[in-house]
Structure 1
Amino acid sequence: MEFLTFSPEIHCFSELLDCSDGDEEEILEFGDDLQLNPFDGLPYSSRYYKLMKERQELPVWKVKYTFMESLLHNQIVIVSGDAKTGKSSQIPQWCAEYCLSASYRHGVVVCTQVHKQTAVWLALRAADEMDVSLGHEVGYFVPFESCCSTETILRYCTDDMLQREMMSAPLLNSYGVIILDDVHERTVPTDVLLGILKDVLISRPELRLVILTAPHMSIKLQNYCGSVPFIRVESKHHAEVVYSCSIQENHFLSALRLLFEIHHSKEKGDIVIFLACEQEIEKAYQIIKQEQANLNPDLGELIPVPLYPTKRDLIPKPNQDKQKCYKKYRRKVLLTTSFGESLIWIKNVTFVIDVGVERRKVYNPRIRADSVITQPISKSQEEMHKQILGMSSSGKLFCLYPEEFTHKEMKPDLPAKIQESNLTSMVLFLKRMDIAGLGHCDFLSRPAPESLMQALEDLDYLAALDNDGNLSEFGIIMSEFPLDPQLSKSILASCEFDCVDEMLTIAAMVTAPNCFLHAPPGTEEIALTCWRKFSHPAGDHFTLINVFNAFREAAADSTNQYYSNEKWCRDYFLSCSALRMAEIIRAELVEIMKRIELPISEPDFGSQENVLNIKKALLSGYFMHVARDVDGSGNYLMLAHRQVAQLDPFSSYCNSRRIPEWVLFHEFSILEDNSIRVVSEISPDLFMKLTPQYYFSNLPPSESKDILQEAINHLSPVSAMKEEQKTNSDNTENEKYHQPPTEQRCIIQ
């Protein structure tokens, strides 16, 4: 497996874990008969025995015999454990031993993770502890990256990747043990897997399901699964908790102030700060880097490590060289949110700072947008933050709120994400699984009926459902793409409009992290000048194509690709890792297109016809994301509801100070300042040509709708007839979509 290269700013895995010095590694003397590793048939290394001693000190090791007995005689085993007890690293290895004892006749082991960073880190750790090669006996597969082979017997993956694997192998016949980790995080894919696997277990009596969770989920899972073995693992140490005397006026500044006080106290140990949102992670990272120059060098160096729970970015890989020895003390400061505790893998965390509040997105199906709410964390989250210190006998948790705040303001648990998320992709997956007879999902927490109906309605508008509410052939093709259904629809429409090459680039760029970096203070105008070179008059989608193409050209012109790309991106205030991720995503999408035998047109970016075709493809998927400037000053009113938003500051229209009247946007978020992101200009005529007539008829009355109706009236009778046929058909091969829907068209299975 050839690893990718990464930005030197990203801390690599060897810095996040406490590794041995290497030179002091214990050398064991063996007799004539060397003990062989049963997984690869090679003699164990001395490092294996060293790590085995450390593994046996983990709290989870005490329950190994009980776990193995339970796994042998039961289909489902629940393991409830505190954080940092070793359950995520050790139990998958024990399951591999179980499958080895059965000669893999029932399959191998797969372990799901919520975060892709965790899946990669655990695979690295398991390969090291099992004394095997990463990518061979142990591997991982995460979105847009795989490090597995036919020899892999233990696979770590993200929960959404296992879900996608079920589409082609509904019964997951290649696996003998399936482990769902971090079930307490209640992500949508994990909840769906839990519900569907109950039916898979009935079809495959030999299959084993292991559920790993935090203690607060134990009773709910026992009630859900019935009479199954339950194993409890407790940590060794209990942290000292220090509460604040009052609520902090500014929790962010209070957290940073406390960080520097701890550092000046000269007490050793790494620090974890749980902040309210990912924007605060970035802000704290920049402040710590800036303040480093003003700190007393005798105190040592502060190393800020941002850990983003939701960021789609490249994953740092380990250095192959031995870790350098530093004369100066280096203290790591891990910055994350309340949902990032599973990302923390360093051993010597001595201090945890918890701000006690979080900002999280809650999806509103009525306006098809995320709202961001600020509220106290839950009691279960606070308890898990304490457990980060489970490996330290002298750790302290500093809560920036009084103890009474815990009892009065904090809820026991937060709602499951399935009750707060856009469910369109989930419903598309369940409809796909229904083809294999596994569409029924016994939800641990029932989704909101309004969200399910909105998801069904959206899929119906996108022609993914037939008149009976089942998945259409067109919907089956859409489900093949690991993208939002609207983006998948735009890609399929681009096949008709001969702009596949450009649409794949757009899809990759909007799926990858934002490529435009926040310019340091004092350089904002320079950054705007640089970005202006990429601006396209047609809009942001086209500007993203220019950025991507320029990035590729810069790489092609260089003899030293890594450093050239890094420097080029720095010069233009762009994120190199985001653009590399876009390259990876695009390559994956091209492979999917080839696999399902869809045509890929030749690039033709720049011509007027190509620009028009790209807009047609975009509107085919995003006709529900259209807004109109109602007053000429950039106040955009959503066509489908009465929400008003402004252009995102990164929009090329803000840079050029031009305000188009009608726009199509990629996403809308209700934040402190409502904004629409990735925006391109369209015309009312074009909108009416590409929008399903039954979607338009369902729009609420408004001045914007009247303007669009006038656009229809101005069409000639012959043209109007053609456009009506066009509007009612998203795919000329699927004439069943031409009929308008009835009230009973969408049926929840």
Structure 2
Amino acid sequence: MSKVNSEVKRHMCPESLIHDHDGDTFGFGDDLELNQFDGLPFSSRYYKLLKERRELPVWRARGQFLDALVNNQLVLVSGSARTGQSTQIPQWCAELCLSARFRHGTAVCTQPGPQRAVELALRVADEMDVNIGHEVGYRIPLKSCCSHDTVLRFCTDDVLLREMTSDPVLERYGVVVVDRAHERTLSTDVLLGLLGALLQRRPGLRAVVLMEPPPGAAQRLRGHYGGTAAALLCLEAPGPAQVVYAYHNNNNNNNSVAAAGGGGGGGCHSDDYFYSALRLVLEIHRTRERGDVAVFLASAQEVDVAHSILQRESTRLGADLDRLVPVRLCGAGPAEPPARDPTAGAGGGTRRVFLSSQQGEDLLGAVDGLHFVIDTGVEKRFVYNPRIRAYSEVIRPISQCRADVRKQLCRPTGKCFCLYPEGKALPAENAPRILESNLTSTVLFLKRMEIGGLGHCDFIHQPDPEGLMQALEELDYLAALDNDGNLSEIGVILSEFPLDPQMGRALLASCEFDCASEMLTVAAMLSAPCCFLAPPAGMIHEAHQCHRRFHHPEGDHFTLINIYNAFKRSQREPHFNVESWCRDNFLNPTSLETAESLRSELTEILSRIELPVSEPAFGTQTNTLNLKRALLSGFFMQIARDVDGGGNYFMLTNKHVAQVHPVSGYGPSSHKLGLPEWVVFHEYALAENNCVRTLSEISPQLFIEMTPQYFFYNLPSSESKAILQHSLERNASRNCPADLKPKKSLAVHREGHIDWCFKACVDE
């Protein structure tokens, strides 16, 4: 990575931005009364927040950071959650862009999750004394709050990657800030892998990578980018909270949870961490020591269960205690922390208990009043196995990096209870998701980047070769690659959709089979979170009866259309209330609203590339057949057969046997109605319940019609394949009915139009 030349350096760092020796000046002048971003006088709140900002540990390194950013294209910053790096450094980058009159572009800051991106944008706009959506904005999936005046944009990693499909070298931006790089999400790793090529293509571009300790991780990342070509800053961390371990490896209980005032959680082991954490919450509450509590559990499912238990237990507390309010930061419920009510409860206040897994960890950094942290020390991960094309649930210890982050969440006067032994050997860093994920969508994206001249991705950790080969094979089956292994016309169109390639291929085929309106609904509903809510105890039968009203005899894909159509019809009724309607039907309002937005986005994409969207015809026999054809065009690799009539489905691709998920219309409660022999399914997880989810009935003849021959003949040998082979030979020996004759593929049937779509996508 070459050092920026003197011309670029002069543009990026005019004299007005050079700090003086005491490091207390930052260009523009902090004492000016006019805001340099909107030209208006600063408000009194600006000066109040400025005083607080100056107390942050990152402020002491401001001059050092500016020197590094001026003299290096890449700056790595290592600091803990309470140093203020996530709010201050993006502002300084925006001021740098403004001082250069945006000669190289504006500033963008990426986040792993959408909620954190929105919260940071709101906080930074407040600190900069500007309006959200104008000078500071955000862009997350399905929602944008930006304008032409935006000089600092917060977005998720995947949103920035999607921008690169039309702007491979990010010409819009002068500084790219990658926050929370230590999380090692799939999108973050792809972005970090492309940074080197980006900086070489654009000498005027600056990149800043923010991560949390250990510093060794930042040093390794610096070495990955060439060592001397990247500057490294390590911020001084604030004092840690008091750490209390559940028990010692030497069985010395002098520092146990009980001895620390937390009660009797001192002997917990890995099999009872969940209930030990909840008991500890109640014991902390009974001590009447002030402050909110954060509890880290293994998964979102555990968060939901813990929320129900604490809600029930809170009604049994004594009248002399404060009100105990459990708050979900992930799971099926809302993720907005309620405002503190100082007058609630007989004890004179409210204690919030934030229940979170790793997914909600980011949201706790800005919570005021957090005094106690309970860390169970385990997390549930879904690890993809390319050999069986399925995810497995794995519960394992968290990394030392994540454990340190959680210890820093509460104030120095607080306490962090670790429900694992002191000195337990934890993995040093978070496991990269690129080593545990299905890479098909990633490979499709990188193939698209090759068209834009940015195909080389220098991964920090190289993906598993077996996973890469499986991804390439799947794209080949979907006709997304040509004979040379490059992206085909169909592949370019698939890369336009914010969907996995299989779902994108089904949506593309639906335009040929005149059922795009229905497939848009299916794609949106399956891409949104699950729309079914787990019912409270004692209401399982009522919930099942409500869900049965939407059930469609052809399968779960059709049931999802019924649910969405009912939701849309109810919206047209007077006095419609989405929360009430969803509560009455045991459905998730967030899921349905997300599906509605996603369906609109997909419709706009189809319109932009001029693919036809048919008029709704749901319920007709022709539409049902065509919808199954479209589904099989994308999901022919996910076919299963009931081998015994009892719901034991044999999957042809991996030769595993699975049950039907209970939420399905073909679930255990429906077995008496009879189960289809052949099904196409959307999802399979090799977990404790080992279930296939979202399945619809198909016929062997329809499967043979829609399946590429080269895929069919590569299927592993089995009794089910022999049945299909016999059916294929029988059909070949006689004339097939007209409606079962193989159709031309979309690439042939609409060759001229696909060529035009290909050119349009590349041009944009």
Matched, 1:343 2:341: no
Alpha-carbon distance in structure 2 between the residues aligned to 1:68 and 1:186: 26
Taking the TM superposition and a 5 Å limit, the aligned residue runs for 1:332-411 are 332-344=352-364, 345-389=366-410, 392-404=411-423, 406-407=424-425, 410-411=426-427
Alpha-carbon distance in structure 1 between the residues aligned to 2:337 and 2:481: 42
Preserved contact between residue 78 and residue 210 of structure 2 (Cα < 8 Å): yes
Taking the TM superposition and a 5 Å limit, the aligned residue runs for 1:195-344 are 195-216=193-214, 217-225=217-225, 226-227=227-228, 228-245=230-247, 246-248=267-269, 249-308=271-330, 326=343, 328-344=348-364
Aligned partner letter, 2:74: I
Single out whichever of 569-578 and 708-717 deviates more from structure 2: 708-717
Q: Using a 3 Å threshold, how does the CA distance of structure 1 residues 331 and 314 change in structure 2: closer, same or farther?
A: closer
Which of 435, 439, 458 in structure 2 is aligned with 1:423?
439
Preserved contact between residue 693 and residue 724 of structure 1 (Cα < 8 Å): no
Taking the TM superposition and a 5 Å limit, the aligned residue runs for 1:605-684 are 605-654=618-667, 655-657=669-671, 658-684=674-700
Q: Using a 3 Å threshold, how does the CA distance of structure 1 residues 727 and 192 change in structure 2: closer, same or farther?
A: farther
Give 1:730 shift.
4.8
Alignment match, 1:148:
146
Taking the TM superposition and a 5 Å limit, the aligned residue runs for 1:724-739 are 726=742, 729-733=745-749
Aligned with 2:530: secondary structure?
coil
Unaligned runs of 5+ in 1: 1-32, 737-749
Aligned partner letter, 1:593: L
Give 1:734 shift.
7.7
Give 1:373 shift.
0.9
Preserved contact between residue 338 and residue 377 of structure 1 (Cα < 8 Å): no
Preserved contact between residue 224 and residue 444 of structure 1 (Cα < 8 Å): yes
Unaligned runs of 5+ in 2: 1-30, 248-266, 753-764
Aligned partner letter, 1:396: K
Single out whichever of 462-471 and 331-340 deviates more from structure 2: 331-340
Which of 510, 528, 550 in structure 1 is aligned with 2:544?
528
Q: Using a 3 Å threshold, how does the CA distance of structure 1 residues 179 and 297 change in structure 2: closer, same or farther?
A: farther
Name the Cα RMSD after superposition: 2.1
Single out whichever of 631-640 and 327-336 deviates more from structure 2: 327-336
Taking the TM superposition and a 5 Å limit, the aligned residue runs for 1:503-514 are 503-514=519-530
Give 1:267 shift.
0.8
Alpha-carbon distance in structure 1 between the residues aligned to 2:596 and 2:116: 23
Aligned partner letter, 2:622: E
Alpha-carbon distance in structure 2 between the residues aligned to 1:609 and 1:240: 67
Deviations 1:638-682 (A, max 9, x none): 110121111111101225333211111111001111011111111
Alpha-carbon distance in structure 2 between the residues aligned to 1:133 and 1:317: 23
Alpha-carbon distance in structure 2 between the residues aligned to 1:532 and 1:214: 48
Alignment match, 2:119:
121
Alignment match, 2:756:
none
Matched, 1:109 2:130: no
Alignment match, 2:471:
455
Which of 724, 727, 730 in structure 2 is aligned with 1:714?
730
Which of 44, 62, 65 in structure 2 is aligned with 1:64?
62
Larger RCO of the pair (alpha carbons < 8 Å, separation 6+): 1
Q: Using a 3 Å threshold, how does the CA distance of structure 1 residues 450 and 713 change in structure 2: closer, same or farther?
A: same
Preserved contact between residue 524 and residue 595 of structure 2 (Cα < 8 Å): yes
Which of 604, 607, 619 in structure 2 is aligned with 1:594?
607
Aligned with 2:315: secondary structure?
helix
Alpha-carbon distance in structure 2 between the residues aligned to 1:656 and 1:724: 30
Alpha-carbon distance in structure 2 between the residues aligned to 1:222 and 1:271: 36
Deviations 1:556-590 (A, max 9, x none): 1123x4xx221111111111111111111111111
Give 1:729 shift.
3.5
Q: Using a 3 Å threshold, how does the CA distance of structure 1 residues 258 and 719 change in structure 2: closer, same or farther?
A: farther
Matched, 1:184 2:182: yes
Alpha-carbon distance in structure 2 between the residues aligned to 1:721 and 1:615: 18
Deviations 1:189-240 (A, max 9, x none): 1111111121111111010000001122212111112212111112221121
Preserved contact between residue 138 and residue 148 of structure 1 (Cα < 8 Å): yes
Matched, 1:98 2:118: no
Alpha-carbon distance in structure 2 between the residues aligned to 1:488 and 1:338: 29
Q: Using a 3 Å threshold, how does the CA distance of structure 1 residues 298 and 594 change in structure 2: closer, same or farther?
A: farther
Preserved contact between residue 274 and residue 335 of structure 1 (Cα < 8 Å): yes
Single out whichever of 410-419 and 678-687 deviates more from structure 2: 410-419
Alpha-carbon distance in structure 1 between the residues aligned to 2:557 and 2:487: 30
Give 1:301 shift.
2.0
Say how many residue pairs are matched. Answer: 691
Aligned partner letter, 1:364: N
Runs of 4+ aligned residues of structure 1 deviating over 6 Å after TM superposition are 311-315, 720-725
Aligned with 1:383: secondary structure?
helix
Aligned with 1:272: secondary structure?
strand
Preserved contact between residue 107 and residue 176 of structure 1 (Cα < 8 Å): yes
Aligned with 1:597: secondary structure?
coil
Preserved contact between residue 341 and residue 388 of structure 1 (Cα < 8 Å): no
Alpha-carbon distance in structure 1 between the residues aligned to 2:358 and 2:166: 35
Which of 542, 547, 557 in structure 1 is aligned with 2:573?
557
Alignment match, 2:250:
none
Aligned partner letter, 1:419: L
Deviations 1:281-310 (A, max 9, x none): 1111122222221122432222222222xx
Give 1:84 shift.
2.0
Aligned with 2:747: secondary structure?
coil
Aligned partner letter, 1:610: N
Give 1:435 shift.
0.6
Preserved contact between residue 352 and residue 396 of structure 1 (Cα < 8 Å): yes
Aligned with 1:463: secondary structure?
coil
Aligned partner letter, 1:661: E
Aligned with 1:298: secondary structure?
coil
Q: Using a 3 Å threshold, how does the CA distance of structure 1 residues 510 and 197 change in structure 2: closer, same or farther?
A: same
Single out whichever of 253-262 and 327-336 deviates more from structure 2: 327-336
Preserved contact between residue 464 and residue 472 of structure 1 (Cα < 8 Å): yes
Alpha-carbon distance in structure 1 between the residues aligned to 2:702 and 2:126: 57
Alignment match, 2:592:
579
Aligned partner letter, 2:688: E
Give 1:722 shift.
9.2
Preserved contact between residue 34 and residue 41 of structure 2 (Cα < 8 Å): yes
Single out whichever of 62-71 and 535-544 deviates more from structure 2: 62-71
Alpha-carbon distance in structure 1 between the residues aligned to 2:602 and 2:409: 38
Aligned partner letter, 1:680: S
Alpha-carbon distance in structure 1 between the residues aligned to 2:165 and 2:334: 26
Give 1:45 shift.
1.0
Preserved contact between residue 36 and residue 42 of structure 1 (Cα < 8 Å): yes
Preserved contact between residue 465 and residue 471 of structure 1 (Cα < 8 Å): yes
Preserved contact between residue 692 and residue 728 of structure 1 (Cα < 8 Å): no
Preserved contact between residue 46 and residue 127 of structure 2 (Cα < 8 Å): yes
Give 1:714 shift.
2.2
Aligned partner letter, 1:269: G
Give 1:325 shift.
5.9
Give 1:402 shift.
1.6
Matched, 1:159 2:181: no
Preserved contact between residue 659 and residue 690 of structure 2 (Cα < 8 Å): yes
Aligned with 2:731: secondary structure?
coil
TM-score by length of 1: 0.89
